[in-house]
Chain A
Amino acid sequence: MNCNEVMDKLSLYIDRELSDDEIHLMEEHIKDCENCQKELEEYNNLISILQNLPEEEPPEGYCQRLHNKLKEANASQSKNLKINKFNRFKWMKYGSIAAALVLVFLVYGLNNLGLRTKNEAYDMAQPSESMIFPEVAPEVMESYDDVMSGEGGQSFAASDARAKISLDQREMKIIKSGSIYAQTEDYHKFFDDLSLKITSLGGLLESNNTEVYQRYNDKKLMYGNLKIRVPQENFYEMIGFIESSAEVRRKNINEIDMTKEYYEKDNKVKNLEIQEQHLRELFEKATTVEEMLLIENELRRIRTEIDGLNMSLKDIDDRASMSTINLEIEEVMPVSLTLKSQRSVLERSKEGFINTINSIVRTSEDLLVKIVSSSPILVPVIIIAVVVFLKIKKYINR
């Protein structure tokens, strides 16, 4: 170690902030170097003077003045705290008002929404009186080649041949369905007539759900939910019959053209069948177990696919050949009798009260459901809001 290094480290040496090795090296040098010895001595001297510099006493009254200032600070701080508390209360007050307002708007909004959806349903039902039946545009057959990866010229040829099936040869697959809501004054008579008509048209009553929905004096008022299936060519005759024998309040008729989808699926099935046959041939030629397993697996896959497709084809066939009518029929009293007697004010207000309670319960249930369902978003948002709020508060306090 040379003198410069020693000089540099003298300060740390005095404070014993060096490693043992370094101290040893320093001491070795200082022992032989007069200059550094002198320097060390001077430093030690200086530091001991510094350490022994007399401390000044704080001026008289220092503690008393500090005490007064502390009191002042304490007073202003507690005032601040009070202001803070007051602010917090104010915050809570305004916060709760805001929350209440939000709640009111929310409930109002929800109710409105509910009303609107009802209205919309009504609006949508309206035009069905003069229902425009969708025109079924003839679809141009597309060629369905390459449904399967060509396994040889044979299958290609086959798919080509199928693509040439002309439009005329194809049967239109149109699914007709209707739903009707009607009222009648004599349920049983209507029902008997209806049954006769269904039978004469070659249809069937698939389900019949009849109930007494109200009693009026001695008369039971009936309500029925019927599902009628008729051959598609007699669909409109059936509708006409219902319209003539009961008062139709809502009518909804749909025609869905499934032709394209049907033949697409049909083609697929045919292609798959060819592929299946091909695989069977291969299977016979197979020599190793591995090959056989592979082919068998493939065969099983194809079979499953064919079955699935056939099932939906059958379904389309069934639905296209037999149209479905959902009929809701409600028995009503003749107009003169249905006039309700004036109920007492008490009764009406009771009913209104119960309705209001019910709607409050329903709304709060809806609200609860909404809150719970949105909690994955709501909870983090609230946490973030609280954190931000605390941060801001802290910042303001500072």
Chain B
Amino acid sequence: MDNNERWLIEESKKGNIDAFEELIKDYKKSAYNIALRMLRNVEDAEDVSQEAWIKIFKSIRNFNMESSFKVWMYRIVVNTCIDFKRKKNINAVSIDETLDLGSGSEIQREIADDSNNPDILIDRNYDTQMVNDAINKLEDSFKTIIILRDIQGFTYKEISEILSCNLGTVKSRLSRARKNLKEVLENEMRS
């Protein structure tokens, strides 16, 4: 944490809005994008990201200078998004979940596994739109970790702090998330 940031935090603790805006200037865009990716909706992304900023501003007085402000701030952003989704109950469809078709009949969502079939040749050059769609189809925890690692470029350690889990969990979850994403993309390509 450099001195400028430290000073801005101190000022923000006193309720100085200008200092706070200066402090979050570089993080605003990425926080908004995290929210947008997680919520898939421009309005929600704005509302939730701003709610997170307000939360950060209000609770900055309790921020412990010894830890990283960046990690602390993103943790609040991510948690606010997760809370919002939980409240709105707009969970993305998970491929692991069963589909409820009503009247008690449930079916397992079927995804063909052709990944090892040499006959199917797929053009591996995915375009941006396809990847975006594929990310949106991921389960929330997978989506979150892909956003943090591959899109935002956080280190494993930072991710473990943002998500409050241990490094092992980050490693295994990221591995599964990438594999999952790749499978979804391959399915998209095939169809």
Known: A54-B128, A58-B46, A67-B17. Contact between A46 and B178, CB under 8 A? yes
Cα–Cα, bound, A42→B123 (Å): 11
A56-B32, A62-B32, A65-B50 given; 8 more Cβ-contact pairs under 8 Å: A11-B175, A15-B174, A50-B131, A53-B128, A57-B29, A63-B21, A70-B54, A74-B17
Q: A78 near B: Cβ within 8 Å?
A: yes
Show 24 residue pairs from A and B whose CB-CB distance is below 8 angstroms, ordered by the A residue.
A8-B175, A11-B178, A17-B156, A42-B124, A46-B185, A47-B150, A47-B178, A49-B131, A50-B146, A51-B150, A55-B30, A56-B36, A58-B29, A58-B49, A59-B42, A62-B50, A63-B28, A69-B53, A70-B54, A71-B17, A73-B58, A74-B15, A74-B57, A78-B15
Total number of residue pairs linking A and B with CB closer than 8 Å: 93
Known: A47-B150, A50-B146. Contact between A70 and B17, CB under 8 A? yes
Cα–Cα, bound, A357→B162 (Å): 67
In the bound complex, residues from chain A placing their C-beta under 8 Å from that of B185 are: 46
Contact B54–A73 (Cβ < 8 Å):
yes
Q: B33 near A: Cβ within 8 Å?
A: yes
Cα–Cα, bound, A9→B58 (Å): 42
In the bound complex, residues from chain B placing their C-beta under 8 Å from that of A43 are: 178, 182
Q: Which of B50, B58, B153, B179 contacts A66 (CB 8 A)?
A: B50
Contact A70–B128 (Cβ < 8 Å):
no
In the bound complex, residues from chain B placing their C-beta under 8 Å from that of A46 are: 126, 131, 178, 181-182, 185
Q: A45 near B: Cβ within 8 Å?
A: yes
Chain B positions 52-101 with a Cβ under 8 Å from a chain A Cβ: 53-54, 57-58
In the bound complex, residues from chain B placing their C-beta under 8 Å from that of A369 are: none
Chain B positions 1-44 with a Cβ under 8 Å from a chain A Cβ: 15, 17, 20-21, 28-30, 32-33, 36, 42
Q: B151 near A: Cβ within 8 Å?
A: yes
Q: Which 3 A-B pairs have the closest CB atoms?
A: A50-B150, A11-B175, A58-B32
Interface centre among A41, A50, A77 (most CB of B within 10 A): A50
